[in-house]
Amino acid sequence: MAYFWFKAFHFIGVVVWFAGLFYLVRLFVYHAEASQEPEPAQTILKNQYEIMEKRLYHIITTPGMVVTVAMAIGLLVTEPEVLKQGWLHIKLAFVALLLVYHFYCGRIMGQLAANQCSWTGQQFRALNEAPTVLLMVIVLLAVFKNSLPTDITSWLILAMIIAMAASIQLYAKKRKRDKEKSLATTSQAEPQL
């Protein structure tokens, strides 16, 4: 029975952790783009994003990570024979990458708060794709274990992921271009003094 409790809370922890990671980097996008706003809006926005980032990281994302890892350890204690399986070693390697990503986001958060981060909103949008890829690989390994399919369906899913990431990047570029056009049109329409 302990196995099922560990598993249930492991799933809950994963959902909370990933929700936090996805939203945290989205806040980084807005934080970075706030630099393009005129004062006092720039300072107000940056201060608000800093508060939101800290609360999200410390109250939601990090506890979600802790619950995920603690429950995973509980699962391994109840079924230690799974440690001998190759798929789990690969999954744990991807989880290690996810932990690095988590703490790297904490580092970026500090840099943004100190105005020492040179990343653009576009770069943060690209960074926000990393947990999606990690999530998919980790879940596929957990579901399929040693029988991960490598047929055409798998390649189609991979192509779909790449297409989604590319479309997000293209949409962001379009929005930026539209904003620049709008600003150029507005500045041309203003009377010259």
Q: Quick one: average pLDDT of 1-19?
A: 96
Annotation-wise, does 58 bind a ligand? no
User: For 135-177, what is each residue's pLDDT tens digit?
Assistant: 988 998 898 888 877 777 777 877 887 888 788 778 877 887 8
Distance CA 61, CA 55 (A): 9
What is the distance between the alpha carbons of residues 191 and 143, in angstroms, rounded to a whole number?
63
- Which one, of 104, 158, 156, 112, lies nearest residue 128 by Cα? 104
DSSP code, position 38: P
Indicate the pLDDT class of residue 182, thresholds 50, 70 and 90: confident
Q: Is 10 annotated as a binding residue?
A: yes
CB contact at 8 A, 74 and 12: no
Q: What is the pLDDT of residue 193?
A: 54
Checking if the pLDDT of 4 tops 70, the result is yes
Residue 99: both structure tokens together: 């932990």
Q: What residue segments make up the domains of the chain, in order of their start? A: 1-175
Q: What pLDDT sits at residue 189?
A: 67
What pLDDT score does 164 carry?
A: 80
Provide, rounded to the nearest whole percent, the portion of the chain with pLDDT above 90: 65
What does pLDDT average to over the chain?
90
